[in-house]
Structure 1
Amino acid sequence: MMTEQASNDLRARGNWNPAEPDSIECLQIVYKVAERCNINCTYCYYFNMGEDTALSRPARASVRLTEQLGDWLAHGCAELGVTRVKIAFHGGEPMLVQPAVFDKMCATLRRKVAPVAHITFSIQTNGTILNQHWVDLFRQHEVTVGVSVDGKREAHDRHRLDHAGRSTFAVTEATIRTLVDSAAGDPARLPSTISVMDHRVDYHESYTYFRELGVESMGFLLPDRNADDTEFRASGHAAKYGDRMFELFESWLAEDNPRIRIRFIDNALRHFLVGVAPGPVVRPRKDVQVLIARSDGTVTVDDSYIPALEWYSSTAVHPIASSTVREVLSDPIFLEIESLSHELPEACRSCRWRTICRGGDLENRYTRQTGFNNPSIYCDSYKVFYAKMCDLLRQNGYPAEEIARRFGDNSDNVLP
Structure 2
Amino acid sequence: MSEKVAPPLPVSGSPSPFRQFIVKVHGRCNLACRYCYLYEGPDDSWRTRPAAAPPAVLDRTASRIAEHARSQGLTALSLVLHGGEPLLAGADTLAGFTDLVRDRVPPHCTVHAVVQTNGTLLTEARLTTLARHDIRVGISLDGGLPAHNARRVDHAGRPSWPAAVRGARLLADRFPSSYAGILTVVDPTLDPVETYDSLLALRPPAVDLLLPHGNWSAPPPHREGARYGDWLCAVFDRWWRAGRRETRVRLFEECVALLLGLPAATEALGLAPFDAVVVETDGSIEQVDSLKSCYAGAAETGLDVFHHAFDEALSHPGTAARQAGPAALAAVCRACPLLHVCGGGHYAHRYRSGHGFANPSVYCVDLQRFIRHVAARLTEDVTTAPASALSSASRDGDTR
TM-score, with structure 2 as normaliser:
0.84
Matches within 5 A, 1:95-244: 95-113=87-105, 115=107, 117-184=109-176, 186=177, 189-229=178-218, 232=221, 236-237=223-224, 239-244=226-231
Letter in 1 for 2:110: H
Distance 1:16 1:213 in 2: 45
Write the letter of the residue equivalent to 2:321: E
2:253 corresponds in structure 1 to 266
Q: Find out whether 1:297 has 2:283 as its counterpart.
A: yes
**SS across alignment from 2:235:** helix
Check whether the contact 2:256–2:375 (CA below 8 A) recurs between aligned residues.
no
Shift in alpha-carbon separation, 1:344–1:174, aligned structure 2, 3 A = same
Q: How far did residue 333 of structure 1 move?
A: 2.8
**2:53 matches 1:61:** yes
Check whether the contact 1:66–1:109 (CA below 8 A) recurs between aligned residues: no
**Alignment partner, residue 15 of structure 1:** 12
CA distance in 2, matches of 1:387, 1:99: 44
The equivalent of 2:236 in structure 1 is: 249
Once the 2 structures are TM-superposed, how far is the Cα of residue 43 of structure 1 from its aligned partner? 2.4
Question: AA paired with 1:214?
Answer: R
SS in 1 for 2:19: strand
Q: Aligned pair in 2 of structure 1 residues 17, 374: CA closer, same or farther (>3 Å)?
A: same
Q: In structure 2, which of residues 81, 105, 128 is the aligned counterpart of residue 89 of structure 1?
A: 81
Contact 2:271 2:343 in 1 (8 A): no
Tell me, yes or no, if the aligned pair for 1:228 and 1:367 is still in contact at 8 Å. Answer: yes
Unaligned runs of 5+ in 2: 1-8, 264-268, 385-400
Q: Which amino acid aligns with 1:383?
A: Q
- Separation of aligned partners in 2, 1:396 and 1:268: 15
Contact 2:141 2:149 in 1 (8 A): no
Q: CA deviation at 1:99?
A: 2.7
TM-score normalized by the length of structure 1: 0.81
Alignment partners' CA distance in 2, 1:69 and 1:361:
27
Contact 2:144 2:202 in 1 (8 A): no
Shift of the 198–297 alpha-carbon distance from structure 1 to 2, 3 Å rule, reads same
- The structural deviation recorded for 1:243 is 1.0
CA RMSD of aligned residues (A): 2.6
For residues 373 and 380 of structure 1, the distance between their equivalents in structure 2, rounded to whole angstroms, comes to: 17
Identity, % of aligned pairs? 26
Decide whether the 8 Å contact of 2:95 with 2:130 is kept in 1: no
Runs of at least 5 residues in structure 1 that lack an aligned partner in the other structure: 1-11, 400-416
**Runs of 4 or more above 4 Å deviation:** 280-283
Structure 1 distance, partners of 2:174, 2:141, is: 19
Residues 299-327 of structure 1: CA deviation (Å, up to 9, x unaligned): 122222222325715x4231211112222
Question: 1:61-116 CA distances to partner (integer Å, 9 max, x unpaired)?
Answer: 13332222112222232223223222100000000012332232222222222536
Query: 2:21 aligned with 1:29, yes or no?
Result: yes
Counterpart residue identity of residue 269, structure 1: V
The 3 A distance-change label for structure 1 pair 199 and 106 is same
Change (3 A) 1:312 1:80: same
Decide whether the 8 Å contact of 2:66 with 2:101 is kept in 1.
no
**Greater shift in the superposed pair: 193-202 or 101-110:** 101-110
**What is the letter of the counterpart of residue 326 of structure 1?**
D
Per-residue CA deviation, residues 349-381 of structure 1 (Å, 9 max, x unaligned), is: 443433321221111111012212222111121
Say whether the 8 Å CA contact 1:340–1:362 is kept in structure 2. Answer: no
Matches within 5 A, 1:384-403: 384-396=369-381
Structure 1 residues 292, 204: closer, same or farther in 2, change over 3 A?
A: same
Q: Which residue of 2 aligns with 1:319?
A: 304
**Farther off after superposition, 338-347 or 119-128:** 338-347
Q: Decide whether the 8 Å contact of 2:271 with 2:326 is kept in 1.
A: no
Q: Say which is worse superposed, 243-252 or 67-76, in terms of deviation.
A: 67-76
Q: Which sits farther off after the overlay, 35-44 or 110-119?
A: 110-119
Pairs within 5 Å for 1:328-347: 328-339=313-324, 343-347=328-332
Against the structure 1 CA distance between its residues 78 and 110, is the aligned structure 2 distance closer, same or farther, given a 3 Å change threshold? same
Which amino acid in 2 is paired with 1:253? W
Against the structure 1 CA distance between its residues 271 and 65, is the aligned structure 2 distance closer, same or farther, given a 3 Å change threshold? closer
**Structure 1 residue 137: deviation in Å?**
1.3
- The alignment partner of 1:173 has SS state of helix
> Which entry has the higher C-alpha Rg, 1 or 2?
1
Rounded Cα–Cα distance in structure 2 between residues aligned with 1:102 and 1:259: 31
Report the residue type matching 2:241 in the other structure. A
Q: Which range moves more in the overlay, 161-170 or 97-106?
A: 97-106
CA contact (8 A) 1:103 1:137 kept: yes
8 Å CA contact 1:17, 1:335 repeated in 2: no
Cα pair 1:226 1:367 within 8 Å, conserved: yes
